A and B are shown apart, each in its own frame.
Chain A
Amino acid sequence: MLGTFACLTTLTLLGFGTEVGTTSTPWWALGLALLAAMIFCGLLNVLAERVAYRPLRRAPRLAPLISAIGVSFIFVNIGLFWQGPTPRRFPDLLPQYDFMSQFFGLHTLVRFTFKDLFVLALAIPLMLGLAWVIRNTRMGKAMRAVAQDTEMSLQMGIDVNRVISFTFLLGGVLAGAASLMYGLYNNNTVFTLGFDAGLKAFTAAVLGGIGNVSGAALGGFVLGLLSALTVTYFGGQWENVGVFSLLVIILVFKPTGLLGQALGDRA
């Protein structure tokens, strides 16, 4: 949500704040907005980790969860202060183009618009990039080591605080990119956006298997389908019922998620 506000503010400053259905897309402005949102969200995340999670590193598990809820309240209120309580329009800057009808000449109900392509073109490289960083780089290996066994990571000489900071930076940067995609796709934003998105992201991650990037992607996909089907067949008010019933069902029957492996398989 704060990411979409960062995009919105950047675009407004650049003079594209109120655009509705442009004919020429200002790619440079979108690029700047993307950069601004990535930096803003990345640094915000690092700051949140520093003040709300790091002091609780040795506390019982519930403590960081509670402070996470606190951080979320603070973010929501910053958003309320920043853009007010009513939903805001997000400029519609992408070309209005439907590949199905205009390119393939198929006049069906199914549409594949430029917006869809844009989201895919941004999300897929980012996801592959993330997976690559985690799999191959020194930092990525340190991240996985810290996730598995923090104490042993220290004894490998890994600066655990730095690695965790970096992980939060990475998460924030990706959230920043997601917020531009969300804004341009849905053309609106509201100060409670992140709360719902956060719950859904969490559900997707649990569904796919915590700690598994491809699992999270698969979880997001399944979740999206389920939510769309629920809205279509039962109506919008049932969306969250569908989504969170799924979460409960997974937690009960397969807490490790679709692709997850049992944690703690230390022999």
Chain B
Amino acid sequence: MALLQVEGIHTYYGNIEALKGITIRVEQGEIVTLIGSNGAGKTTTLRTIAGVLRPRQGTIRMGDVDLTKTPPNEIVRLGIAHSPEGRRIFARMSVKENLELGAYTRSDSDLTSDYERVYTLFPRIKERLKQRAGTLSGGEQQMLAIGRALMARPTLLLLDEPSMGLAPVLVELVFRTIQEINALGMTVLLVEQNAHMALSIANRGYVLQTGKIVLTDTAKALAQNEMVRKAYLGED
């Protein structure tokens, strides 16, 4: 059985139908990527899975649980963490407190290894633990948002444009990080503008266009696909 099964979801903003029947399957241990141009509905899809938006139709199953009927704070407890678009760190709290909030649902008290993992991935974060998160640079805030999501030790990590605003070296680092945490057994659903990078680390991918899935295949096949190359990889 798939880890996450999104089945025909329709999500609206008022009367605007942003998702017009999205079906996505994520297997345990995979990196799955959603690509698509601006406004295609990638963020909306992740927010619907995280439970902040509710679909009017369709189901989202994680194991036996229907996430569309689960409060968002319970969804975290089921093992889904979300590093949202635009980072959304708690700007007026310290960097350390942001990480602590990431681990809010963790009942096991020993978080040392989780902090260590975040510090190893992002040494910059470790140097700035006492600093107000809002005073971090954009790239540092992005690292913090990812680190905060990791602190929940999720089974499924939702990442919305983790490379946004990062310098090229850091983009490399973030993608390598995603691969590393995936190798440790964490499943990843990744939304990216940077389709090239996303497809290079993903197992499979879905292409979204105006609220619909228009194509799905292995990442390798998508990277070869004519339409994908033209529209999303900027080749002609």
Q: Is A52 an interface residue (CB 8 A)?
A: no
User: Which A150-165 residues have C-beta < 8 A from chain B?
Assistant: 151-160
Q: Is B156 an interface residue (CB 8 A)?
A: no
Q: A142-B104, A155-B50 are in contact. Are A267 and B76 (CB under 8 A)?
A: no
Task: Determine the distance from Cα of A156 to Cα of B81 in the docked complex, in whole angstroms.
Answer: 8
Task: Determine the distance from Cα of A141 to Cα of B148 in the docked complex, in whole angstroms.
Answer: 14
Q: Is A148 an interface residue (CB 8 A)?
A: yes
Chain B residues with CB under 8 A of A153: 101
Residue of B at shortest CB range from A141? Answer: B97
- Which of B28-36, B88-96, B186-194 lies at the binding interface? B88-96
Chain A residues with CB under 8 A of B104: 138, 142, 156-158
Task: Determine the distance from Cα of A40 to Cα of B39 in the docked complex, in whole angstroms.
Answer: 51
Cβ–Cβ contact A148 & B82, under 8 A: no
Q: A151-B52, A157-B77, A159-B73 are in contact. Are A145 and B101 (CB under 8 A)?
A: yes
Task: Determine the distance from Cα of A4 to Cα of B148 in the docked complex, in whole angstroms.
Answer: 45
Task: Determine the distance from Cα of A224 to Cα of B148 in the docked complex, in whole angstroms.
Answer: 43
Residue of A at shortest CB range from B76? Answer: A157
Cβ–Cβ contact B134 & A266, under 8 A: yes
Cβ–Cβ contact A145 & B141, under 8 A: no
Neighbour of B72 across the interface among A141, A145, A154, CB < 8 A: A154
Chain B residues with CB under 8 A of A155: 50, 52, 72-73, 76, 81-82, 84
Q: How far is the CB of A160 from chain B (nearest CB, A)?
A: 7
Neighbour of A160 across the interface among B73, B134, B141, CB < 8 A: B73
Neighbour of A148 across the interface among B77, B84, B93, B136, CB < 8 A: B93
Residue of B at shortest CB range from A261? Answer: B92
Q: Is A50 an interface residue (CB 8 A)?
A: no
Q: Is B114 an interface residue (CB 8 A)?
A: no
Q: A155-B52, A157-B104, A157-B105 are in contact. Are A144 and B90 (CB under 8 A)?
A: yes
Chain A residues with CB under 8 A of B93: 141, 144-145, 148
Chain B residues with CB under 8 A of A138: 104
Q: How far is the CB of A208 from chain B (nearest CB, A)?
A: 16
Q: Is B100 an interface residue (CB 8 A)?
A: yes
Q: Is B174 an interface residue (CB 8 A)?
A: no
Chain A residues with CB under 8 A of B71: 154
Task: Determine the distance from Cα of A158 to Cα of B102 in the docked complex, in whole angstroms.
Answer: 10
Q: A145-B93, A145-B101, A261-B92 are in contact. Are A158 and B134 (CB under 8 A)?
A: no
Query: Interface residue count for B (Cβ, 8 Å)?
Result: 31
Q: How far is the CB of A106 from chain B (nearest CB, A)?
A: 46
Q: Is B152 an interface residue (CB 8 A)?
A: yes
Q: Is B63 an interface residue (CB 8 A)?
A: no
Task: Determine the distance from Cα of A157 to Cα of B100 in the docked complex, in whole angstroms.
Answer: 12
Cβ–Cβ contact A265 & B152, under 8 A: no
Q: Is B138 an interface residue (CB 8 A)?
A: yes
Task: Determine the distance from Cα of A264 to Cα of B85 in the docked complex, in whole angstroms.
Answer: 17
Residue-wise, chain B 63-83 has the 8 Å CB interface mask toward A (1 for contact) of 000000001111011000110
Residue of A at shortest CB range from B92? Answer: A148
Task: Determine the distance from Cα of A265 to Cα of B141 in the docked complex, in whole angstroms.
Answer: 13
Residue of A at shortest CB range from B158? Answer: A155
**Which has the most chain A C-beta neighbours within 10 Å: B77, B84, B104?**
B104
Q: Is A149 an interface residue (CB 8 A)?
A: yes
Task: Determine the distance from Cα of A155 to Cα of B105 in the docked complex, in whole angstroms.
Answer: 10
Task: Determine the distance from Cα of A266 to Cα of B90 in the docked complex, in whole angstroms.
Answer: 8
Chain A residues with CB under 8 A of B101: 141-142, 145, 153, 156, 158
**Which has the most chain A C-beta neighbours within 10 Å: B82, B89, B101, B152?**
B101
Task: Determine the distance from Cα of A157 to Cα of B91 in the docked complex, in whole angstroms.
Answer: 18
Chain B residues with CB under 8 A of A149: 88, 90
Chain A residues with CB under 8 A of B148: 156
Residue-wise, chain A 248-267 has the 8 Å CB interface mask toward B (1 for contact) of 00000000000001000111
Residue of A at shortest CB range from B80? Answer: A155
Task: Determine the distance from Cα of A149 to Cα of B101 in the docked complex, in whole angstroms.
Answer: 12
Task: List 17 A-B pairs, Cβ < 8 Å.
Answer: A141-B97, A148-B91, A149-B88, A152-B90, A153-B101, A154-B51, A155-B52, A155-B73, A155-B82, A155-B84, A156-B73, A156-B101, A157-B76, A157-B104, A261-B92, A265-B92, A266-B89
Q: Which residues of A contact B (CB under 8 A)?
A: 138, 141-142, 144-145, 148-149, 151-160, 261, 265-267
The 5 closest A-B pairs by CB, nearest first: A157-B76, A157-B105, A154-B72, A156-B101, A156-B104
Known: A144-B90, A155-B82. 8 other contacts (CB 8 A): A148-B93, A149-B90, A154-B52, A155-B72, A155-B84, A156-B76, A157-B105, A157-B152
